[in-house]
Structure 1
Amino acid sequence: MKIRNPKSEIRNNKFLNWLLVISLLVITAAGGLGCARTVTTLWTYGDQMMVEVTMKGTIATSANRYFLVLSLDPNYKIPLPSPNLDQEAPEFIEPGMVPQVGSPEAYYTKFFSTWSGYIVLDRNEYYLAKGPFVIDQAFTREVISILGETGDKITFSFRLQQMFGDLPDQTQIYFDFVSVPWPDGEEKIPADHLPSTNNYISNIAGSIFAMDDLEDPSLDPSLDIIKCRVEIQ
Structure 2
Amino acid sequence: MKVGVVTFPGSLDDRDAARAVRIAGGEAVRLWHADSDLHGVDAVVLPGGFSYGDYLRCGAIARFAPVMESIKKAASNGLPVLGICNGFQILCEAHLLPGALTRNQHLRFRNREQWVRVESSATAWTGDYQDGQEIYILIKNGEGCFVADEETLDMLEDNGQIVARYVHGNPNGSMRDIAAIRNEAGNVVGIMPHPEHAVEALTGPSLDGLGFFTSVLKHLSGGSEKE
| TM-score band, normalised by shorter chain | under 0.3
TM-score (norm: length of structure 2): 0.26
Higher relative contact order (CA 8 A, sep 6+): 1
User: Whose helix proportion is higher, 1 or 2?
Assistant: 2
- Please say which structure displays the higher CA radius of gyration: 1
User: Whose strand proportion is higher, 1 or 2?
Assistant: 1
TM-score (norm: length of structure 1): 0.25
